[in-house]
Chain A
């Protein structure tokens, strides 16, 4: 089975802190995605990566950056956390081309105080 692991289930940070959210896959998949999920807004794409050191902005990249130094790990970085970044963050991988499904991690609920 495909496994997508997000390092923390719950995280509490203070405004202005630098925050790292980690996502690790156990297979050799190219495509990895970071979404945030908010009530009434659904899932919104922050960034995605289709290979090592390759990244593309999604729909809401402001305030975020990403890092993909190794194929299995895709990190989301909040350079200076703000309260409006309190959200559920979901990492996903795709096994193949655009018409293939996404496999999601269990999510990280981030609270910025």
Chain B
């Protein structure tokens, strides 16, 4: 069965520092990969997605993610975080022909001044 692992439950980063959130998936086929963000008290918003082509994808709010097939990973990055980036981040995976989207357990990001 498809699964997603986000190994970091909580990350604290200083404002202006770089950020990388990890995501690994398991399954055999080519995945469709997503990163969603949930700000406190808000719904989930799509940051970016990958389904084919260039393995480095750009998203909203200055985020990017890189698909590495050999590592079954899709890590999210941002070169310089802002206080408004404090939120919970979810990685998700789906596969062609399977309507189900599976989410990871989430990484909570705290930004310190």
Q: A residues bordering B, Cβ < 8 Å? A: 31, 33, 35, 40-45, 48, 50, 56, 58-59, 90, 94, 98-99, 101-102, 104-107
Interface centre among B9, B46, B98, B101 (most CB of A within 10 A): B101
Number of interface residues of B (CB under 8 A): 24
Q: Which chain B positions have C-beta within 8 A of A43? A: 44, 90, 92, 103
Q: Which chain B positions have C-beta within 8 A of A94? A: 99, 101
A45 and B102 contact, CB distance less than 8 A: yes
Contact among A33, A41, A107 with B101 in the assembled complex (CB-CB below 8 Å): A33
- A45 and B44 CA atoms in complex are apart in Å by 15
A48 and B100 contact, CB distance less than 8 A: yes
- A28 and B91 CA atoms in complex are apart in Å by 27
Given A101-B46, A104-B44, A106-B43, A41 and B105 touching (CB < 8 A)? Answer: yes
Q: Mark B1-33, 1 if CB is under 8 A from A, else 0.
A: 000001001000000000000000000000010
Given A43-B90, A106-B43, A107-B43, A98 and B105 touching (CB < 8 A)? Answer: no
B65 contacts the other chain (Cβ, under 8 Å)? no
Q: Which chain B positions have C-beta within 8 A of A33? A: 101
Interface centre among A33, A40, A94, A99 (most CB of B within 10 A): A99
- A107 and B105 CA atoms in complex are apart in Å by 18
Ordered by A's residue number, 15 sampled pairs between the chains whose C-beta atoms are within 8 Å are: A41-B105, A42-B103, A43-B90, A56-B99, A56-B100, A94-B99, A98-B95, A98-B96, A99-B94, A99-B96, A101-B34, A101-B49, A102-B44, A104-B43, A106-B43
